[in-house]
Amino acid sequence: MMQTALKHLRRRPAASRSRRSTTPAPAALALRLAGHRLFRNADAAIIERCEGFFEAETLCRGTDLFAQDDHAEHVYVIVGGYARLSYLLSDGREMSVALVGPGEFIGEEALAGVERRPFSATVVERCTAFRARGEKLGTLFRADAALAMNLARHMSARWEELSAALEDIAQGNVRDRLLRALRRIAAQWGERSGAGQRVRVKLTHHEMATFVGSTRETVTLQLAVLMRAGAISRGDGSFTVVSPA
């Protein structure tokens, strides 16, 4: 399924790359790296060395961390805010396959020597991230057996996640796909609130439509249907997915 989908990708038009000036990463980054699956069983000295490769930056909503088919130059650790990973198909449709947020490590293909980005990462909520050049950080990963194994497992898990999301988009009507997508996001990023999971991420109807392979207008109608049915509720820039009875 994933290989079939990738055959229909095309280059995404250039998007705004405006961002704030970068600053050196704080010492607290070492703790974040040590807690990530990419650095499981890694020697503390290696983690400290990796820390020195990162610098912090803040990006505004709508800005691309990277775009599909860009040169895979940097790897990112998100520490605040959210971004969505998406493909642009040959027919012009944009398909979002994941919402990533604090603690996520993205752009890992730069560590493996992959030349071009297979997808885009676009900020949906003001985002603070640490970035490092994949060429420098990748040298450490390729030289350390534990890190190399972690990278292989991480990339495999990422592709399984993306493949499952693409397959999910192809099944059922728009209302069912939309509810599944919102439940998936709520399971990962929601917080318990009453009878459901509340997600404090401001996704527009257009952005939601990219998660289900539909249009903004159709998603607006189906959101209203789901709200009347009591499956979701919205307010103050957030949405709550009600847990099934």
Domain boundaries, the chain: 2-169, 174-242
Q: pLDDT (tens digit, 9 = 90+) per residue, 143-154?
A: 888 888 888 888
Domain 174-242: CATH architecture, name and number where available: Orthogonal Bundle (1.10)
The pLDDT score that the predictor gives to residue 225 is: 96
Q: Is the pLDDT of residue 3 over 80?
A: no
> Which residues are CB-contacts of 199 (< 8 A; sequence separation ≥ 6)?
182, 185, 186, 189, 190, 191, 238, 239, 240, 241
pLDDT of the residue at 9: 44
* Residue 13 pLDDT greater than 70, yes or no: no
* Residues 176-229: tens digit of each pLDDT: 999 999 999 999 999 998 889 999 998 999 999 999 989 999 999 999 999 999
Q: Between these two residues, 73 and 167, which has the higher pLDDT value? A: 73
Domain covering 2-169: architecture? Sandwich (2.60)
